[in-house]
Structure 1
Amino acid sequence: MDKSLQDSILKSIDILVKENIKNTKYTASNVGLVKSIAGFDCTVEIQGVELSCILFEHLHDWIQVDDIVIVQDLYNDSSKKTIVGKIGTSRPTSFTIFDTEKGRSISGVEQVYDTSNNEVVDAVLDIE
């Protein structure tokens, strides 16, 4: 095979790869602020626009109003958005567990169930 034929084949492969990369769709993620929660339905404000999202069951105890969350567009067509994680809160206090040996927060508890009066209350942790 001569050099010019090899170069033509490589150029063709390069063009095909570039076209396929252009047509590849990736799931988009945004950061937003939780405005309301009602079961699996959640409203999140992203860049001044309120969007309806799904709040997965494993995040129900962790995500609250005023939390800063990551919202993922599952199909990259705005038909279904879901909260995939929490990255902070806009509340003035955060209930995280600070490890003094590591010098950083390692976990967090936002609320606990108070059996004495049968309600969910904010947790306040004293770490010694």
Structure 2
Amino acid sequence: MEILTAAKQLQVTPDQLRKWEREGLMPPVARRADGLRNYSAQDLAWVQHVKRLGSSEAGAAFLREYVHLVQLGPQATPARQSFVAETKQQWQAHCQTLLREFDTMEAMVVKQQGGKSDEH
């Protein structure tokens, strides 16, 4: 599939697809004999990952490392599995910390509201 068709289907610009590939957020896309990118179903799936995870720098860093491990081939499968599991644990811990912080902030709001008159 040509880049314009892929971009339209994925609701991104062709420039964005090129940028993500250039930045290593997805594996290189195969090229046709004339040098144009030829997006496969697997490439489109990668772009979906990039759209979900690549919007944050942490997600982008994860994708770069994951793409690197994929490019090492099947022998890197155990490393990929470990990397994903470790990263998931780190993010779960981070999310729990954020949720506790939001709970604390909500409690502060409730406490502050209790001490005030009905002002708007």
TM-score (norm 1): 0.22
The structure with the largest alpha-carbon Rg is: 1
Counting helix residues as a fraction of each chain, which structure ranks higher? 2
**Larger RCO (CA under 8 A, 6+ residues apart):** 2
Counting strand residues as a fraction of each chain, which structure ranks higher? 1
